[in-house]
């Protein structure tokens, strides 16, 4: 049970550019109902607002502790597992799972020391491609074809509920010898990788042809640990030194 | 797939004495997102109301088709499976399942010709004991102990989502030679049973000692078919005739 406590305190619910403060309050209530407390808001349109407090009901403490960030990258800083909710499949398909599978992965990740983020997009149009490409994998809540657009707070409720159920039921966790790499470290790696690919003439920034997108997807899917990432970066450094000679 | 269609059109979402029209609209949206369309309202405090229309978003058609009933008994009339949502265990424990198990039972019931009802109580205090005792079994949405009171529409979302998932995934259904007895038929049976118990001197209405509650629970749990119910009623008739001689 001490592990379960630890998991809940490591989960960040991240809402990106939310329009309606009522949805923020309803999301806070849904979170507290399911034992979550860490709400991150990326550039909310209208917060704080008393509508959020009203809809939060007895979860005003979650609102009091909200972390407001200017960018998604900041909101997921330090996280070693980032899930993005997505209504539809994109041009370049990303690993896409159901809420149940997503919840199982979150629970399986619970022994890793870093935080876990579940990211929700705008009410009107979800997450942008560049935001989705900062996620290790995507979650899609199954819906009727006749009306597939869930209310934002409802989506938070479904994911928080599935994580609560999985955390209550599951006894399994991934045992690993190294902590997983954080999002920040991965972004440094991606920048280093892109520079290197350009230096060796493999990557033309004026004609990118989805190269970096595909590489992001590859390395995010692997969810590398810190040791692996430092090996990869050591390799890139060696390549760069070799070119300069 | 034709069976799945049939199941969705047989499910009634029943909201009892809802206070806030916004919750009715949000429930309608959650239903339509999950392929459900039949909303029943038992004595709503404030409906129709434009707040319901606003929160329903693109599910205004669900609100247009709402059935308003004066009593729960009317709202579940003709149903052969009735689930009641309940936040807590009662004095006399009823069969209580998780949303996942409830959804599996709903789907397993899909070949029965009668409707299925999922009943939700008041925002403030849920369903009353006499309402819960009209249900075959109870569903409890697992929550954090720190804050267990889900918003009404959120509870509708979780149940509708689980039913949608179970219906999409499941290929199993209970195959039975007789249709299940409806709630109305069961109520007539319970009245007949209580009369008979009183006639024979087994039941003292002035000192009921939970007798009828326990018998309701027993027969609801069995979920008898029509043939079985007519056998039971034939037996009661015979007893009554024998006493009068």
The minimal CB distance from A154 to the residues B147, B157, B165 is found for: B157
CA B118 to chain centre: 5
Q: Note the pLDDT of residue A4.
A: 46
Q: Does A150 touch chain B (CB under 8 A)?
A: yes
Contact (CB<8Å) B149/A98: no
**Looking at the predicted structure, is the pLDDT value of residue B216 above 80?**
yes
Assigned token pair, A4: 């379960």
Nearest C-alpha of chain A: how many angstroms from B55?
A: 9
CA–CA dist A27, A10 (Å, integer): 17
Q: Note the pLDDT of residue B90.
A: 63
Q: Which residue of A has its CA nearest to B35?
A: A144
Q: pLDDT higher for B45 or A90?
A: B45
Per-residue model confidence as pLDDT tens digits over B141-168: 999 999 999 999 999 999 999 999 999 8
Please name the residues between 191 and 210 in chain B that touch chain A, using a CB distance below 8 Å. none
Contact (CB<8Å) B33/A144: yes
Percent of chain B with pLDDT over 90: 62
Numbered ranges of CATH 3.40.1280.10 in chain B: 2-169
Q: In sequence order, what E strands does chain B have? A: 11-16, 38-42, 67-69, 79-85, 96-97, 115-120, 137-139
The minimal CB distance from A150 to the residues B33, B98, B141 is found for: B33
Please give the mean pLDDT across all residues of chain A. 90
The minimal CB distance from A146 to the residues B35, B149, B150 is found for: B35
Q: Note the pLDDT of residue B170.
A: 67
Numbered ranges of CATH 1.10.8.590 in chain B: 183-244
The angle at the Cα of A99, spanning A95 to A101, to the nearest 5 degrees, equals: 65
**Looking at the predicted structure, is the pLDDT value of residue A144 above 90?**
yes
Q: Note the pLDDT of residue B34.
A: 97
Q: Does B38 touch chain A (CB under 8 A)?
A: no
Q: pLDDT higher for A241 or A59?
A: A59
Q: With beta carbons less than 8 A apart as the criterion, state whether B198 and B207 touch.
A: no
Q: Which residue of B has its CA nearest to A157?
A: B154
Q: Does A65 touch chain B (CB under 8 A)?
A: no
B23, B142, B164: best to mutate for the A interface, most A CBs within 10 A: B142
**Looking at the predicted structure, is the pLDDT value of residue B171 above 90?**
no
CA–CA dist B109, B7 (Å, integer): 9
Contact (CB<8Å) B168/A142: yes
Nearest C-alpha of chain A: how many angstroms from B156?
A: 10
| A105-114, A231-240, B42-51, B109-118: least confidently modelled range | A231-240
The minimal CB distance from B30 to the residues A26, A33, A154 is found for: A154
Confidence tier at B218 by pLDDT (50, 70, 90):
confident
Per-residue model confidence as pLDDT tens digits over B11-54: 999 999 999 999 999 999 999 999 999 999 999 999 999 999 99
Q: Which residue in A184, A218, A208, A217 sits closest to A71, CA to CA?
A: A184
- CATH code of the domain made up of A2-169: 3.40.1280.10
Buried b (16+ CB within 10 A) or exposed e, A14-32: bbbbbebbbbbbbbbbbbb
Q: Which residue of A has its CA nearest to B8?
A: A144
**Looking at the predicted structure, is the pLDDT value of residue A171 above 70?**
no
Helix (H) or strand (E) holding A183: helix A183-199
Q: Note the pLDDT of residue A2.
A: 41
Percent of chain B with pLDDT over 70: 94
CATH class of A183-244: mainly alpha
């Amino acid at each position: 049970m001490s592990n379960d406590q630890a998991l809940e305190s490591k989960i960040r619910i991240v809402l990106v550019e939310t329009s309606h403060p009522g949805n923020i309050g309803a999301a806070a209530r849904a979170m507290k109902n399911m034992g979550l407390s860490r709400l991150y808001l990326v550039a909310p349109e209208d917060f704080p607002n008393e509508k959020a407090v009203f809809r939060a009901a007895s979860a005003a403490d979650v609102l009091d502790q909200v972390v407001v960030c200017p960018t998604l990258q900041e909101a997921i800083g330090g996280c070693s597992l980032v899930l993005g909710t997505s209504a539809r499949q994109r041009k370049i398909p990303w690993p896409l799972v159901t809420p149940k599978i997503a919840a199982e992965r979150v629970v399986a990740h619970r022994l890793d020391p870093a935080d876990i983020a579940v990211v929700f997009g705008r009410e009107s149009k979800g997450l942008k491609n560049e935001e989705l490409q900062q996620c290790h994998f995507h979650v899609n809540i199954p819906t009727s074809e006749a009306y597939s657009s869930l209310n934002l707070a409802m989506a938070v409720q479904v994911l928080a509920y599935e994580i609560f159920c999985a955390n209550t039921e599951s006894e399994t966790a991934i045992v690993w010898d190294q902590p997983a790499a954080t999002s920040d470290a991965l972004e440094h790696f991606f920048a280093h990788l892109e520079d290197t690919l350009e230096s060796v003439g493999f990557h033309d920034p004026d004609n990118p042809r989805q190269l970096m997108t595909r590489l992001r997807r590859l390395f995010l899917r692997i969810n590398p640990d810190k040791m692996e990432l430092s090996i990869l970066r050591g390799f890139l450094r060696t390549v760069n030194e070799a070119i300069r000679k």
